[in-house]
Amino acid sequence: MAGHGFHVHGAHDHEVEHQAHRGLGLAQQVAIFTAILSTIGAVISYQGGATQVEALLYKNEAVLKKTEASDLWNYYQAKSTKGNLAELASLIAISPDKVEFYKKEAERYAREKQEIKAQAEALEAQAKKANEKSERLIHPHHRLAQALTLIQIAIALASITVLTQKKWLLALAAAAAVGGAWLWGAALLL
């Protein structure tokens, strides 16, 4: 009978037509608002996690470089001890050949100590640089975490708006979202 101009509307069809003529209702506005906030929150969450991981990688690099430097300083100390023993041996040796041998050994240890010292100081400088990078990267992470918290609060308030039909809650949610967006922007500028 559909071909003779007779058409039966279902409840769903009737509601869709009714909503199309009425415009966006509060529930639809909140749904769109929360979808946008959820997307922004996902981006902030990703950026916060990536920032934290990068900061941890630099911190790990700083620890590794510091450990390598510490190992070299221990090696330096061992060379120093051997050099001191060689100097002492040159002072108490009776044979002129042994005196000369121990003096050369002491000189060799002194040269090796200087090379080791330069390497250890270079590693300490690298550790300091990596630690500074880590510190710079962790600061935006705190702002990103605060921004994400405000976005989540905005989503919760918007959801409560649909249940209570109180539009002032939606305004409060929008204020929280603006605060979150501001913190997000501030984190990106750091």
Q: Is the pLDDT of residue 151 over 60?
A: yes
Residues in the chain: 190
Domain layout of the chain by residue ranges: 35-189
Q: In 3D, which of 80, 75, 47 has the Cα closest to residue 147?
A: 47
How far CA 27 is from CA of 19, 33, 45, in Å, comes to 11, 10, 26
Dihedral Cα 9, 12, 18, 22, nearest 10 deg: -160
The pTM score is 0.67
The per-residue pLDDT for range 59-107, each reduced to its tens digit, is 999 999 999 999 999 999 999 999 999 999 999 989 999 999 999 999 9
- The sign of the CA dihedral 166, 168, 171, 175 is negative
Percentage of residues in the chain having pLDDT higher than 90: 68
Q: What pLDDT sits at residue 26?
A: 83
pLDDT band (50, 70, 90) for residue 122: very high
